Structure 1
Amino acid sequence: MPEPSPTSSRRGRLLRFGAAVAVLLALAGYLVVQYVTGGTGAPRCKVVSGKGDGASYEFTPEQAVNAATITAVGTTRGMPERAVTIALATALQESGLRNIRHGDRDSIGLFQQRPSQGWGTRKQIMDPTYAAGEFYRHLAKVPGYSRLPLTVAAQRVQRSGYPQAYAKHEPDATLLAAALTGRAAATLTCEGRPGATRTGGPDAVRAALVRDFGRDVLQVAGAEVGGGTDAGSGQVSPSAAASPSPGPGPGTTVTVPVPEGTAADGSRRQRGWELAHWAVANSSALHIAHVSYAGREWSAGRSVSEWTESGNSRNSAKSTAEVRIVTGQ
């Protein structure tokens, strides 16, 4: 039997080395995807019950962004918390709160809406803000939906082949709705991902606020970026949008004033906590490092993700009048 030539032996070693490198690259790619999409090793988000009964729900940053959008679209339309709960439970069942491009037949998106059934174009349905708005538009047409069992209300909109499946998501959706509408204060946290993404800054935060809440969140509330506005207009000046202002950490601060409510209904605090929880839910996507409101502060990357007392706690009147969102550099 002839001895293998030096050339063939070298070629064999190169092939084995190349195969090993390919396996390592594939593993690295898998780990990156898992981290970004909320799989093993990714930062987590958590919502806890405001009733102190120990109930909680853990979810991914991707799910948090979509849940915050669904909630913001609902409250901006004047829908009650029950409607938000129904919408969140529906999206949990239909897509796992992920904006997916596939499904049964031509179903796509958060709510698995179908272009062929008049829900909109594929491009429209893949826009979470549009999809949530369409869900609420159809839900509002259901007589007495807020008094119906969640499965019944959701089924009147979705016409699903498995209507009872929505029920299992009601407890988690209820926790999410209470936090993201601002009714349950300081109950939503995320580990955050400081420094892990370059998409962020005040402009990105402002654009996302307008995307989810509508332009009034900046124009009517007179939100300031970097502490500056055009004189007399209430509009954010271009120079202010790019300049840093002092905040609880490094970066650039977006200060969102919270409209006054009444002491009786606590609407100012609820609106403030809605905006604060929205910012935390978007912390990984928008590179948000700190959020403070009503004397409490959340920071990304803490070993224990929680809301703690902040330096503004002594001035409760001022701290309830604005939400401060600090982006990483």
Structure 2
Amino acid sequence: MARPRRSAATLVSLVVAVVLLVAGFGWLWSKITGSGPTLMPPSEQCVVTVGEVSDELTLEQASNASVIVAEGLRRGLPARAASIALATALQESNLRNIDYGDRDSVGLFQQRPSQGWGTVHQIMDPWYSSGKFYEHLVQVNGWQAGDINDVAQKVQRSGVPDGYRKHVEVSRAWASALTGHSPAAVRCIDRGGDSPDTKRATAIVQRAFNGSVKASQGQAQITLNSSDPTKLWAATQLVLSTTETTGVTAVSVGDRTLHLSATELAQWSAASAGTKKPTEATITLRA
């Protein structure tokens, strides 16, 4: 019985030796030629960082999150409402506007036409489905202070009643950033694709803030003005999160600026001294 064990040990030793030899040759070759491993650039994404919490969404997900939060702002609801809505959509559809689901469920919140949520066409409109969610949310007794998972379950009546809990922390971070309570919290990687949509960029601001944030449209640039810095940051980060279709390349809010990169997550930095007003933001789009 000892001989098979020695054979197995010998085989393992040979495999390890070959692996080390190949690795050593690769290292030596990289030193001789100056070449190294080719690293793939990170995927297109938007990332939020609030305190110790950081979360990554695809550009599609981030755009949907922007609409969900914007509809809550339009209705005058607090950031908590957006946190509940985002946790719900993350669980129900992974923040994707899908046209299928359990039984006749569709959309971001997997709402069912047969249960009175609207027609399929209506529910597939993210603005409509977000609005219907908020309509039901505010009817839940104690939603302003109750456990977010439990409040979401009272709206959705899901077969997985505890499923929203795992999304609460990141949903709070996104809600805080997109409602302007956490400035300079969103960064994106966008390699460009569709032609920029200046009208959509201004429309989300106009719809969310009903004139309390002024949006003026120029050639490949939008200027936002508001005396409320929280609203100004909210409007800017809402538009930034729609970069998949709006084509954002740079944003400046007051004395902070961000230039998007196609290969890495750029950092927010200080704008040139004396060039920015605290009540103004500029958003530059692909030309």
* 1:157-210, Cα deviation, whole Å (9 max, x unpaired): 10111110110110111111111111011011111224x222x24333223444
CA contact (8 A) 1:47 1:188 kept: yes
Q: Mind listing any 5+ residue stretches in structure 1 that lack a counterpart?
A: 1-39, 227-243, 245-251, 261-267
Structure 2 counterpart of 1:300, from 260, 263, 281: 260
CA contact (8 A) 2:198 2:246 kept: no
Structural mapping, 1:174-189, within 5 Å: 174-189=172-187
Aligned partner of residue 177 in structure 1, secondary structure: helix
Tell me whether 1:287 sits opposite 2:247 in the alignment. Answer: yes
Q: CA RMSD in A?
A: 1.8
Q: Mind listing any 5+ residue stretches in structure 2 that lack a counterpart?
A: 1-40
Q: CA deviation at 1:314?
A: 2.9
CA contact (8 A) 1:201 1:328 kept: no
Distance 1:57 1:152 in 2: 23
* 1:273-304, Cα deviation, whole Å (9 max, x unpaired): 10111121111221111111021112221634
Aligned residues with identical type, % of pairs: 38
Q: CA deviation at 1:222?
A: 4.0
Question: Between Structure 1 and Structure 2, how many residues are aligned?
Answer: 246
CA contact (8 A) 1:193 1:300 kept: no
CA contact (8 A) 2:197 2:245 kept: no
Tell me whether 1:223 sits opposite 2:224 in the alignment. Answer: no
Distance 2:214 2:53 in 1: 37
Distance 1:46 1:221 in 2: 24
User: Match for residue 321 of structure 1?
Assistant: 279
Tell me whether 1:213 sits opposite 2:174 in the alignment. Answer: no
Structural mapping, 1:148-163, within 5 Å: 148-163=146-161
Aligned partner of 1:48: which letter? T
Question: Residue 321 and residue 55 in structure 1: after superposition, are their counterparts in 2 closer, same or farther (change >3 A)?
Answer: same
CA contact (8 A) 2:48 2:177 kept: yes
Structural mapping, 1:17-56, within 5 Å: 42-49=43-50, 51=51, 54-56=52-54
Structural mapping, 1:52-91, within 5 Å: 54-91=52-89
Structural mapping, 1:157-176, within 5 Å: 157-176=155-174
Aligned partner of 1:328: which letter? R
Identify the structure with bigger relative contact order (alpha carbons < 8 Å, sequence gap 6+): 2
Aligned partner of 2:280: which letter? E
Distance 2:249 2:103 in 1: 41
CA contact (8 A) 1:178 1:184 kept: yes
Distance 2:122 2:67 in 1: 15
User: Match for residue 235 of structure 2?
Assistant: 275
Aligned partner of 1:308: which letter? S
TM-score (norm 1): 0.71
CA contact (8 A) 2:66 2:241 kept: yes
Aligned partner of 1:256: which letter? L
TM-score (norm 2): 0.81
CA contact (8 A) 2:223 2:283 kept: yes
* 1:252-274, Cα deviation, whole Å (9 max, x unpaired): 2111211x2xxxxxxx1111110
Distance 2:83 2:199 in 1: 30
For structure 1, which segment, 283-292 or 96-105, has the greater mean C-alpha deviation from structure 2 after superposition? 283-292
User: Match for residue 271 of structure 2?
Assistant: 310
CA contact (8 A) 2:188 2:265 kept: no
Q: CA deviation at 1:315?
A: 5.6
User: Match for residue 255 of structure 1?
Assistant: 223
Structural mapping, 1:193-208, within 5 Å: 193-194=191-192, 196-198=193-195, 200-208=196-204
Distance 2:78 2:199 in 1: 30
Distance 2:204 2:54 in 1: 27
Distance 1:304 1:150 in 2: 31
